[in-house]
Amino acid sequence: MSVYTTLTLKEVQDFTAPYGLNVADLIPIQGGIQNTNYFIVCENGLQYVLTIFEEMDEQGAGELVPVLEHLGQAGLAVPVPLSYQGKAIHTLKGKPAQIAPRMQGEHPMPASLAQAQAIAVAQAKMHVALQDFPLERAFYRDHAYWRQVSREVKPSLNDADAMLLNNLLGVYDALTAMYPNRPKGFIHSDLFRDNTLFDGDELKGILDFYELNKDEWLFDIAITLNDFCTEYPNITLNEDKAVAFLNAYESVRPLTADEKACLELYLAMAAGRFWMMRLQVAQKNAAEGRTGGDILQKNPAEMRDMLIERLKFVTA
């Protein structure tokens, strides 16, 4: 949610007028790395989030609208985009854009045990709700995609980091061949604490579905468990929170025996994938000259260190 596309208040007022919104203020949002986002404050005090999709076309951005509508109907706290003329996606400065209600709450920093349980239940409900959802995305950031990212990033790694990456992928290939019953479905893929909002221990919002794709549920679980059950800057997993998270998730959808056998590997794999992603984003920002206070660049070393720690518990 870095700001790549700069907007004036007048440009936003013109864009939002057909929605019936009278915008009085515009606030850039930092905290993510792919799309441009602003809070817009209306004269009546209501607030919304304006998103400009930096890398998706109108069709790709619009694919998510029925997903959010479906999840909202299933009782999950998600921001369903506004529409006019029967469409939620319109064009702003030559790019697809949408407006959604601003959900209230705070990012859990750090997450409490009860918050870890709440997000686990919501994640399981989301997996079940989308299990048979009729959606085919044009582009999936699945395991094959991340293998390709690792191949592209690997030449820039030093010898130690290249060896670490090779070790992770080798263990992954060995263990996943032994334990193949790892079901797939639509997953959020980016369900970190900064994509959730809480009021105390009550989950108020799940945000940023732009990485939604069809992949293993276990990968989604590992991403969220890693983040909600880690108390940064310490990257060691909090075992009590992790157990509570898993028990809460399984109250909705029990894991298969093979998923349980591969869980520790996937905790390492999730850290490895986001290590690669952060390195890729850093390289892209450097190549395109993206700099400044409105460009967020998360630290790749944090995920590399988590990967090293998680791999200690994985044996092939």
Please compute the mean of the pLDDT values over residues 238-262 and round it to a whole number: 98
Task: Please give the helix or strand (H or E) that residue 274 lies within, else none.
Answer: helix 257-287
Q: Would you state the pLDDT for residue 99?
A: 97
Residue boundaries of the structural domains of the chain: 9-101, 113-311
Q: Would you state the pLDDT for residue 285?
A: 67
| The CATH number of the domain covering residues in 113-311 | 3.90.1200.10
Distance from C-alpha of 279 to C-alpha of 240, rounded to nearest angstrom? 31
Instruction: Look up residue 35 and give its two tokens.
Output: 């799309």
Please give the model's pTM, rounded to 2 decimal places.
0.86
Three-state DSSP class for 34? coil
Q: Is the pLDDT of residue 315 over 80?
A: no
Distance from C-alpha of 152 to C-alpha of 242, rounded to nearest angstrom? 33
Top-confidence residue, 217 or 62:
217
8 Å CB contact between 183 and 256: yes
| The CATH number of the domain covering residues in 9-101 | 3.30.200.20
Domains 9-101 and 113-311 share a fold: no
- 37-46, 111-120, 158-167, 277-286 — which is least confidently predicted? 277-286
Which 8-state DSSP code applies to residue 26?
E
Phi, psi of 98 (to 5 degrees): -145, 165
Distance from C-alpha of 212 to C-alpha of 142, rounded to nearest angstrom? 10
Top-confidence residue, 35 or 47:
47
Instruction: Look up residue 121 and give its two tokens.
Output: 């239940």
Q: Concatenated DSSP letters for 241-273? A: HHHHHHHHHHTTSPPPHHHHHHHHHHHHHHHHH
For residue 219, give Cα distances in angstroms to 71, 183, 189, 222, 265.
20, 10, 8, 5, 10
Mean confidence (pLDDT) of the chain: 91
